[in-house]
Amino acid sequence: MNKFWMRIKIKARRFKLILASLLKGPRWTVCQLCKKRTFYYKEGALLRENKRCIRCGSIPRWRAMFDALETIAPNWQQLAIHESAPFGALSEKLAQKCRNYTPTHYFPDVEPGSMERGIRNENLEKQTFPDEQFDIVITQDVLEHVADPQSVFKEIARTLKPGGKHFFSIPRDPSKPTEPRVKFRGDEIVHLKPPEYHGNPYDPAGLLVITDWGDDICELILQWAGTKTEMSPFSDDHDVTETRPAVEVFISHKD
């Protein structure tokens, strides 16, 4: 199936989901991202990915990220922001509204720092940016895919200005410690758990999940990069309970 028919299929499926929500009687609200009166329709089982806005198409973790950004850095439109692997309604808003927004993606076979498919190529583990370049770095569900998270957090801290912040979302299990899903023997990948892949807008094969993050993530970042990290819970979902926690956004602060 080519990309055109795939898009048609996705739009048809979403139309059916929106119609189902309308027939049930939607709960109207104001979207934190697009600021418009809207309702959210269910599109999946995961709270972080469910409840899509009919106006801008945002999902809870994008709205959570923007809520944290607006709260902690209300002048974000005037700041220097680096976002790795941008995708979706939040990234589109940042690109439109932020005066100094730098989006990047990682293409392993492309020269670091060069342009590829209209976006700058950067490996988060070894960036080409100078020290203290950005006020804010944003990563949305990226860090479970990096091979060397310790180097990534160090590099992010290096490229942040004093007082800068790293906003990130990441799937994790707060009831367990962080565990690797793979280990590397040279160029060989040894799977410690069954392979798991997440979507990648540039590669239909997807991205391999390398790390299962857990309850010790803030301690690990402090140990690796020297930045203090706090978690900001968020929810615009009326079904949240103790067993269905709010979406998490983490903020690491550079002194």
| pLDDT tens profile 154-178 | 999 999 999 999 999 999 999 999 9
Does 144 fall in a domain? yes
Residue by residue, DSSP assigns 135-173 as EEEEEES-TTS-S-HHHHHHHHHHHEEEEEEEEEE--B-
Does 147 fall in a domain? yes
In angstroms, how far apart are the furthest CA atoms of the chain? Answer: 56
- Model pTM score: 0.88
Domain residues for the domain of 67 are: 59-253
Q: How confident is the model at residue 12 (pLDDT cuts 50, 70, 90)?
A: low
Does 97 fall in a domain? yes
pLDDT for 240:
46
The CATH number that applies at residue 142 is 3.40.50.150
Structure tokens at 240: 């949240």
Q: Is the pLDDT at 244 greater than 60, yes or no? A: no
* Residue pair 152/242 in contact by the 8 Å Cβ criterion: no
Task: Report which DSSP code applies to 130.
Answer: P
Q: How confident is the model at residue 202 (pLDDT cuts 50, 70, 90)?
A: confident
Task: Tell me the C-alpha distance between 127 and 114, whole Å.
Answer: 12
Rounded to 10 degrees, the C-alpha dihedral 130/97/140/227 comes to 50
Q: Is the pLDDT at 28 greater than 80, yes or no? A: yes
Q: Is the pLDDT at 75 greater than 90, yes or no? A: yes
Task: Report which DSSP code applies to 192.
Answer: S
Does 15 fall in a domain? no
Domains contained in the chain, number: 1
Q: Is the pLDDT at 20 greater than 70, yes or no? A: no
Task: Tell me the C-alpha distance between 61 and 171, whole Å.
Answer: 10
CB atoms < 10 A from the CB of 21, how many?
A: 19
Q: Is the pLDDT at 181 greater than 70, yes or no? A: yes
Does 47 fall in a domain? no
SS3 for 246?
A: coil
Look at 49 and 37; give whichever has higher pLDDT.
Answer: 37
Does 170 fall in a domain? yes
Task: Specify the residue for token string 């040894």.
Answer: 190
